[in-house]
Amino acid sequence: MAVSSKNTDRVIMHLDMDAFFAAVEQLDNPEYRGKPVVVGADPKQGTGRGVVSTASYEARKYGIHSALPISKAYRLCPHAIFLRGRMHRYAELSHQVMDIIKNYSPVLEQISIDEAFVDISGCIRLFGPTKNIGLKIKEDIHAQTGLRASVGIAPNKFIAKIASDLEKPDGLTICEKDGEKAFLAPLPIRKLWGIGARTEERLQNMGIKTIGDIADFDAKKLTTKLGVWGFGLWKLANGIDNRKVGTPHKRKSISEERTFYEDVADYNMVEKTLFKIADDLSRTMRRKSLKGRTITLKLRLEGFETHTRSKKLTDYVHDADSLRAVAVDLFRKFPIAERKVRLVGIAVSQLNTLGGEQLPLFDNTVINNEELEKLLDELKQRFGEKVVMRGSFLKKK
């Protein structure tokens, strides 16, 4: 099975902000510095629902990491500083960081609020060797924001991503051209994209423990055992990744969900929560210029039993009324059998950028939903979330 392993003379940088949310909180609150900070859900003295978004490096010493249940994080370090996120502040600093990077190269692909790929191939004549560019960008970010970043530089995106994670925090790791395979060889297989605990166990049973083991494994045999995905792993292990910066994967879905502090038997409360989720999700979709055709209700019952129900519409939508109406209809049709609800969420898939007219769900719709949503956005932006809200969110006296 012949595969070209030739990498062009590209130089790709991956920049990852260190413990970004927690670092911002420590930046804005000097009294938090040097202390374990956890950003995420309210732990409620160990009984809270939800997960950790980001943990400071001081908190990570206790075994706390992102996606860890917040109740477990509290048990591991009850004296930590637990904070709810401030997305507007994180977004503000994220924009500032990306603007700093653009001073060095316009070929940038932001893949999340705190990380990006940058093609610096054309910058070497202007700013010097790759190491100097990495150091200058890191220094500019710290000087202008007070935050630290870790950087990986390599001939392709995959290796640059791995490199940025090897010397955190405040790291700079470089993989030179033609050294890709040797750079990857000693690393554990969990460093490869898509390798979880089950796949790791399966590979280890095949005698594969490092990325180098995958690279040396017969590609045809690996493909036979794991399918096309196995061949993809083999290519990555050999340092082959020809993706260009600036061509991110198309987003397939967008979602919002809420975990109740206690399992809920009041289905009216569940429906009100769906109203709020639909409102928030609609605003996010409009901000990102997205519409979708398939709306999915996510429902987690007591005992962590999770179900999804979906409905495909005739056209692309993003207004809150459409999202809410479909989600509530799906919820009412679900055979819940008087069981309590732990989590509820709405996802929208089959996404498309804005364009075309939106078909109303009901023939007697008089108000233009999109114009109403835009007006609500403007009012909330000017007067705040709590000043302007939908009537259905108000508590009945």
Q: Domains, the chain, ranges and CATH? A: 12-17+90-180 (3.30.70.270), 20-87 (3.40.1170.60), 182-237 (1.10.150.20), 253-393 (3.30.1490.100)
- The per-residue b/e assignment along 282-306, b for 16 or more CB within 10 angstroms, e otherwise, is bbebbeeebbbbbbbbbbbbeeeee
Residue-level pLDDT at 148: 97
Closest to 110 (Cα-Cα) out of 290, 304, 251, 283? 251
Interatomic CA distance for residues 139 and 271, integer angstroms:
49
Q: What is the mean pLDDT of residues 194-201?
A: 80
Q: What percent of the chain has pLDDT over 70?
A: 86
Q: How confident is the model at residue 335 (pLDDT cuts 50, 70, 90)?
A: very high
Please report where in the chains the tokens 């979330």 appear, as a residue: 385
CA distances (Å), origin 4, targets 221, 235, 241, 258, 397: 18, 10, 10, 47, 70
CA distances (Å), origin 352, targets 246, 316, 348, 358, 368: 19, 7, 11, 12, 20
pLDDT digits (tens, 9 = 90+) for 138-192: 999 999 999 999 999 999 999 999 999 999 999 999 999 999 999 999 999 988 8
Residue-level pLDDT at 227: 75
DSSP lists the bridge partners of residue 55 as: 38
Sign, CA dihedral 21-70-111-243, equals positive
For strand 341-353 and strand 253-264, is the pairing parallel, antiparallel, or unpaired?
antiparallel
Q: What is the mean pLDDT of residues 13-38?
A: 97
Q: Which residue has the higher pLDDT, 314 or 92?
A: 92
Residue-level pLDDT at 366: 37
DSSP lists the bridge partners of residue 173 as: 152
Q: Which of 58, 109, 115, 373 is catalytic?
A: 115
Query: Are the C-beta atoms of 344 and 273 separated by less than 8 Å?
Result: yes
Range with the lowest mean pLDDT among 91-95, 192-196, 317-321, 337-341? Answer: 192-196
Q: What is the DSSP letter of 356?
A: S
Annotated catalytic, 115?
yes
Please report where in the chains the tokens 């870790």 appear, as a residue: 150
